[in-house]
Homo-oligomer: A and B are copies of this chain.
Amino acid sequence: MSDAGHFADRLAAAVERKGAPLCVGLDPDHALMPERLGVAEFCRGIVDAVADVAVAVKPQSAFFEAQGAEGWAALAEVCDHARTAGLLVLVDAKRGDVPSTARAYAAALAPLADAVTVNPYLGHDSLEPFFACDGLGVFVVVKTSNPSSVDVQDVQLADGRPLWQHVADLVDRWGADDVGASGLSSVGAVVGATFPQEVAEARQLLPRSVLLLPGVGAQGARAEDLAEAFSVGPAGALVSASRSVLYADRGAGWQEAAAAAARRLADELRSVAVAG
């Protein structure tokens, strides 16, 4: 956790400095990575390749946990390296548990990260330990990018709306008390970029939340469809791409290919976020 102030204000300053709201997801998968590289070495290399165009990196906890204790140590090392490189670090862990357990999760993750992702299914008291961490951004999962997100998130409520819109209302309420000078709250929302219509609706329901939009690139979403997310300003959304940047090339040119893929996406986002 950083003591450098309100998360959304730090994000807004970073977007202004770098010019585009790009986040690069770190999903280190040995089946896709260049051969003979360790997880930490690969991720440090990606961080160095994208640091001048991205505002944030998003290590996906699962891919580090899959390497056991060594992977957990690599996660801490990569987070530290990214922050030293001037990037914000969002640890994507989607935790959610009862309050006594949530406090342990917050203690595990907050020291590594500027922001974390969490799951809303257990309600407010399960997330309160994260909200209570000074300066920590908290992105609550609202509508995800995967096809089966409809199973629960789109179930119809008594008022006719899909469940995810009720969750969006909760997120808006949970974040109302922690709005920074940028006009944005430290409580954000994860909305899959693969559902542009839902992204636009989420923007209406969550006028003070930064929207974290994963799914661009390998999952099929396109930057140009996300303009409405930026109607509140260029830091109103953070667009995240993982595989399309990480695995742009598996050969000797992997770092250059990642840098080029990140730069292309940043250029696309720059026009979308400024026009939004």
Q: Which residues of A contact B (CB under 8 A)?
A: 27, 29, 60, 62-63, 65-66, 68-73, 76, 94-102, 104-105, 107-109, 119-126, 141, 144-153, 155-158, 160, 163, 166-167, 170, 219, 243
Contact = CB atoms under 8 A, between A and B. Distances in A.
Contact of A65 (B63, B105, B126, B163): B105
List the number of copies, as a whole number. 2
B124 A148 contact: yes
B63 A101 contact: yes
B96 A60 contact: no
Given A123-B149, A146-B122, A27 B108 contact: no
B167 A152 contact: yes
A152 B173 CA distance: 14
A118 B144 CA distance: 16
B66 A99 contact: no
Nearest to A150: B123
A79 B91 CA distance: 26
Contacts of A121: 119-121, 141, 144, 152-153
Given A62-B97, A98-B146, A125-B146, A152 B104 contact: no
Given A104-B29, A155-B163, A122 B98 contact: no
State the main secondary structure of chain A at its contact with B.
helix
**A29, A71, A108, A145 — most chain B CB neighbours (10 Å):** A108
Contacts of A167: 152
Contact of A94 (B95, B108, B153, B170): B95
A76 B66 CA distance: 12
A252 B102 CA distance: 29
Contacts of A66: 104-105, 107-108
Contacts of A29: 100, 104
Given A123-B152, A157-B158, 16 more contacts: A27-B101, A62-B101, A62-B105, A63-B101, A71-B108, A94-B96, A98-B219, A119-B119, A121-B144, A121-B153, A122-B146, A123-B148, A123-B153, A152-B166, A157-B157, A158-B160
A148 B120 CA distance: 10
A122 to B, nearest CB: 5
